[in-house]
Chains A and B, each alone.
Chain A
Amino acid sequence: MTQTQVQEYPEITITLNVNGKDFTVNVKPYERLIDVLRYKLGFLSVKEGCGRGECGTCTVIMDGKLVPSCLVLAVQARGKKIITLEGIAPQGKLHAIQKALLDTYAMQCGFCFPGVIMAAYHLLSKNQNPSEDEIKYALSGNLCRCGSYLRFVKAVKLAAEYIRKGQVYFDLKKVPP
């Protein structure tokens, strides 16, 4: 009923690729990528922590670049390739960074994890042997208030080691619950 009254701006149809699959959605010109990913497409791993690109929880990869999806307009993502946490490993598998974060027992509230994992994943995609300083720099845009930082550093190192050994993915069934 009232839905029709509120359309003061025309919607635009865009197609974007998320985790290897094309999606066509109608968006408002002011709509943010984070909202499209979360509420239109259901990629709920993408979290909103500040809405201003300051906390890192909504971090995704867009055409190979790490971006805060709260500062990207949906229309800017037209024709782009987006990767979210849901897309870093095939179904039934964990990516090395996810396995390493479990191995180092880094989990606390977990709200920052999707962003942290994306930043680490992005680093590891370019550098399979990062130094401690490189790791810290790569994760410096991701706030974690529970304080798992020191374990993040250990986990990224461990993940790099896994990847160097050719172990990029791990079978979910073989990971202890």
Chain B
Amino acid sequence: MASSHAEYVKIVEEMFERKKEFRLIGQYVQRWDALDKILGRARFTADHAYFFKNLVYVHAVRAKYAHAKINKVDVSEAEKVPGVLKVITHKDIPGVNDVGYVLPDQPLLAYGKVRYIGDTVALVVAEDPYIAEEAAEKVYVDYEPLPVITNPLDIVSFGGLKEKEHTLIHDERGSDVIARFRILKGDVRKGFKEADVVVEGEYRTQFQEHAYLEPEAALAIPEHDGGVTIIASTQCPHEARRAISRVLGLPFAKVRIVVPPVGGGFGGKEDVANEIGAKAALAALLTGRPALVMHKREESIIGHSKRHPMIARYRHGAKRNGTLTAVEAEIILDTGAYASLGPFVLWRAIVHSTGPYKIPHVHTEGVAVYTNNVYAGAFRGFGNPQITFAVEQQMDKLAEELGMDPVELRLKNILRNGDRTVHGQLLDHGVGLEETIKKAVEATDWYRKRAEYAKQTGTIRKGIGLALLWHGNSIGAEGADYSSVTLIINRDGSITFRTGLTDFGQGSTQGLIMIAAEILGVPPDYFRVDQPDTSATPDAGPTVASRATAMGGNATLVAAYKLRQRLNQVAADILKCSPEDVEIHAPDVYCKSDPSRKIRWVDLIEECFWRGVPLQEFGYYRAPKAVWEDETGQGEPYFTYTFGTIVAEVAVDMETGKVTVDRVTTVYDIGKVINRVGAELHAEGGAIQGMGYALMEELVHDENGRVLNPNLYAYYIPTIMDAPKEIVALWVEAGYRRGPFGAKGLGEPSINGIAPAIANAIAHAIGARITSLPITPEKVYLTLKKLGKIKL
């Protein structure tokens, strides 16, 4: 194993050093599935229902209370409804009744108690979705209500983050604190003593809903051998298989997950398919018919994870010249009723809790706690947008206090090549943060606007603000971090591409094809992507954590490299030149030294076939080991970091409090731009979603744990009218040696810095700071009124 590890790392590093000219990488290329989607031919999960006869429909009976004991569940009346085939309760589960992702805390079907409003008590399986819904009314559940906790401060308190006396939500676990992480470096007391200036702040962020346009769906088909095939809208087919197999008590090999095109994920479809896939599979196996689970929007909103709300208290200390001396923070994440990805979200939040700065003395500590709210889990950014909202406002407050420009303060403290992070990790290369700041400042005419806007007096006031961000790539110390792909050159020269990494809209698969195409020397349209399928595509780890390009890209690069070596050998033999002299520019293959000596790509492939040269290759890549010391948060949590600077320009109506985002400029150091279209779309999509997070979006629970806005009429996401008027996406390519051609991830980082940049711009415009999200017109108005800046 050690030698093979050395081999693939060597290939990745060799290509980083050697490959400097590109035909495809960094170019504008149409994504592989664009035409299918533009024609309306792409088949999403629910579309498959049209092709099945004898479908049954599964309806979840959800909890009536957010916290209650279940004394009795009686399904006999519901089962009598004509058209109902079966009502499934926890007693019908053949395997383990649990779909918890990180902790085994989430029953598929509730028993004993319910912990939030979305808990499923029973499943009605019927001939028709209307019948299933009607019969659900006849499932009788005897509840004994328990106190409902919706405020995480009822579980823990600031000043040590100790657990308080309360009615336990997870009595079976004995505690409602699911995780605790910290960074402990130097001596913060000393750091604050050395400080000339100290700023403090409390920051609050809200529940955010993914609101992908395609609600969750799963269609399960019972197989002849007792197994099951599940077509599901998921980001993580292999993870879903693991969870569903456990519920069904079946070996992995008998549970097959197929992933058709997915209508958006953003992290929300990381673990929900474990639940809906298992529900569909249970119904299919118990009735012997294909079973469909299709969430309505209301069910989607209460039935899948959210972005964790955060309450954080920060203290920053700095010298008069702006040098940071200490950072202290207490961070509380509300993970709702179940852990989902919560422990990892908290960990990522803590890892990034200081921002991308050099700080001698640090003590940041955080906990994630249960409440009876909708559960929180993975959402683009994964804990990082929350803390970035706090840290970057702290930095602006500090700049204000010091009378420094926010840019200057940051330039004093940022990480550069050769620096160590607050975890003691040496960043010896590939840190392009300073360049991102300089590009952003230049592109926005920062200094002029900053000075000019400060003098405004009118009703509409402009503001310009910035935020820096960093984002550790891939899974890091959370767990096993590997990726794999299979490349098959077919006898006609076309190429089959397979990986368990899913493309749920973000375009990562396009990037992988471009990497393979670049190395093989073929146009991208030679490729045919086989959709993720646990029975056909290799397990590539989950499609999360901005890892598809960084990790999958390396696996692709390794597979293509090996194939290319074999092709060069055969071509060299035919063309009578050295393998290094072989140039593939399909459809032609020729000698660089004498292009007249050439053959066609298809003929080269045919020749390989007859010579018995394998035309399939498996590419595997495992990330360098991540290190994390639990007590101190010291180590190397991630193998590399994406960096960025966001500048937001806003206009605030001083009479109504309405904020308009005029322009967002994003500058990300992603090492190397692979798929330029995908990168730009991320910058834009992240900016718009981040704007929603900053100004509009909030999932609201009442004191009984009921969601007050479980639909798109009351949960606002940005429309085309709300979106920033202009988004400028710029790039820094600092090059990470162990990324594919130097590339790093962008999926999540593209949302991290948007909200704080907007918040800082608003503060610049109105001369007051709002420290809780979302920054609604109402909040701005009331803030202005309180400060006497508004008379109405």
Contacts and interface: CB of A to CB of B under 8 A. Distances in A.
Interface in B676-707: 677, 680-681, 684-689
| Size category, B interface | 35 or more
A136 B720 contact: yes
Contacts of A84: 40
A146 B681 contact: yes
A145 B717 contact: yes
A28 B644 CA distance: 55
B685 A47 contact: no
Contact of A109 (B261, B525, B726): B261
Given A39-B49, A54-B712, A94 B38 contact: yes
Contacts of A59: none
B719 A110 contact: no
Contact of A49 (B131, B214, B504): B214
B33 interface: yes
Contacts of A6: 82-83, 127-128, 131
Contact of A113 (B37, B210, B684, B719): B37
Contact of B215 (A49, A112, A172): A49
Interface string A51-76: 11011010000000000000000000
Contacts of A57: 213
Contacts of B32: 177
Contacts of B447: none
B67 to A, nearest CB: 28
Contact of B677 (A98, A105, A111, A139): A105
B501 interface: no
Contacts of A8: 82
Contacts of A27: none
B565 interface: no
B603 to A, nearest CB: 23
A143 interface: yes
Contacts of B711: 50, 52, 54
A129 B167 CA distance: 63
A109 B212 contact: yes
Interface in A4-27: 5-6, 8
Given A148-B684, A148-B685, A149-B720, A55 B261 contact: no
Contact of A177 (B35, B40, B212, B213): B35
Contacts of A137: 721
Interface stretch (B262-270, B617-625, B634-642, B765-773): B262-270
A35 to B, nearest CB: 9
Contacts of A171: none
Contact of B50 (A38, A48, A50, A85): A38
A27 to B, nearest CB: 13
Contacts, number: 185
A89 B780 CA distance: 48
A110 B261 contact: yes
A177 B82 CA distance: 50
Most buried by B among A86, A101, A147: A147
Nearest to A4: B82
B501 to A, nearest CB: 15
Given A111-B44, A145-B211, A49 B262 contact: no
Contacts of A86: 39-40
Most buried by A among B38, B214, B684: B38
B721 A140 contact: yes
Interface in A97-146: 98, 101-102, 105, 107-114, 117, 136-137, 139-146
Interface in A143-177: 143-153, 172, 175-177
Contact of B35 (A49, A102, A105, A146): A102
8 contacts: A44-B43, A54-B713, A108-B681, A109-B504, A117-B38, A145-B212, A145-B213, A147-B681
Interface of A: 2-3, 5-6, 8, 30, 38-39, 42, 44-45, 47-52, 54-55, 57, 84-86, 94, 98, 101-102, 105, 107-114, 117, 136-137, 139-153, 172, 175-177
Given A52-B297, A94-B39, A105-B677, 4 more contacts: A105-B680, A147-B684, A147-B689, A150-B684
CB-CB nearest 9 A-B residue pairs: A109-B505, A45-B40, A111-B263, A147-B685, A110-B37, A147-B688, A6-B83, A85-B40, A50-B297
